[in-house]
Amino acid sequence: MTIVIFAMNQKGFAVVEWLLQAHPTNLMVVGARDSNVQRDFYEEIKGACHGCGVPFLDRSEAKGLVAEHVIAVGWRWIIRDCRELIVFHDSLLPRYRGFAPLPTALLNGDDEVGVTALFGDDDYDCGDIIAQKRLHIRYPVKVQEVIDLITPLYTELADEIVNAILAGSPLKGIPQDEATASYSPWRDEDDYRVDWSRDAREIKRFIDAVGYPYNGASSEVGGSLVRILDASVEPEVKIEQRVPGKVTFIHEGLPIVACGTGMLRLLDVRDGAGSSLLPLAKFRSRFK
């Protein structure tokens, strides 16, 4: 029996690496590049398969592939031509169906995130739930830290499901509660822009939620787009005629910016080439 794994990114690589050790004779892997993250683990997935003698196909080579059992981890496209499709989704369904659910959960300040294994369905992320694993988190926390913490849950879930398939044990699913379902929208470059009119704590959480491996929070200063990769919340001060985004203080070479409410110290600001812009060339700078 061959199980085909459609895998992308860090969690996909972890699942493939784990299964290559446990079930190398039962696997085929399909990979794809992902331009939405800074590191997509495509070469690592491909190299691990080649190192174990396990067949690896690029997405472009997998058209027409017919399989009985398919598991998709981090995959972004529709998969057809399989009897049983199992999808690993980056949330505790039925909440956050759709795109980039983990950043959305962090933006909302959820204290619990997780992974759901579900049966593929005609409507995305609506299939019956096979199993879930949960992770409690505390803020402040960066998205990469959460990915590192949640990745072992993916490998545990994959191992349980693959062992059940190979043992011939039927997988059972539970229908999702439509009354509690919600959706996470797709994101593009516009969604990385900082809204300085918001509270400093919300902006800090935003910076942490869309940082590496994503492109990072962005803003405009001096007519140029910059990336804000780290910040800390500072004590509030009373500002008359407050204008969010204005640099109000410079402490130890680091700008402190007025937000809609609260103050934010910028710890890491980069230009388009990735070079640090701190200390700022001008005190009278405005982030837009």
Domain map (residue ranges) of the chain: 3-184, 189-270
- The confidence score (pLDDT) of residue 66 equals 83
Q: How confident is the model at residue 217 (pLDDT cuts 50, 70, 90)?
A: very high
Q: Among all chains, which residue has been given the structure tokens 């001096």?
A: 222
Q: What whole-number distance in Å separates Cα of residue 10 and Cα of residue 40?
A: 7
Which pLDDT belongs to residue 205? Answer: 98
Question: What percent of the chain clears pLDDT 90, i.e. is strictly above it?
Answer: 90
Helix (H) or strand (E) holding 259: none
Return the H-helix or E-strand segment holding 98. strand 97-98
> Cα separation of 185 and 175, whole Å?
22
3-class DSSP state for residue 285?
Answer: coil
Secondary structure letter of residue 169 according to DSSP: P
Q: pLDDT per residue over 169-213, tens digit each?
A: 999 999 999 999 999 999 999 999 999 999 999 999 999 999 999
Whole-angstrom Cα distance, residue 92 to residue 223?
41
Judged against a pLDDT cut of 90, whether residue 80 lies above it is answered with no
State the first-to-last Cα distance of the chain, in angstroms, to the nearest integer.
Answer: 56
pLDDT at 67: 87
Range 3-184 has CATH code 3.40.50.300: no
Rounded to 5 degrees, φ, ψ at 64 are 85, -5
Please choose, from the candidates 244, 245, 242, 250, the residue with its C-alpha nearest in 3D space to the C-alpha of residue 228.
Answer: 245
CATH class of 189-270: alpha beta
**Long-range CB contacts (within 8 A, 24+) of 22-25:** 22/159, 22/162, 23/162, 23/166, 24/52, 24/53, 24/54
Q: Angle, nearest 10°, between helix axes 143-166 and 9-22? A: 40
- Is residue 83 pLDDT above 90, yes or no? no
Report the alpha-carbon distance of residue 35 to residue 110 in Å, rounded: 27
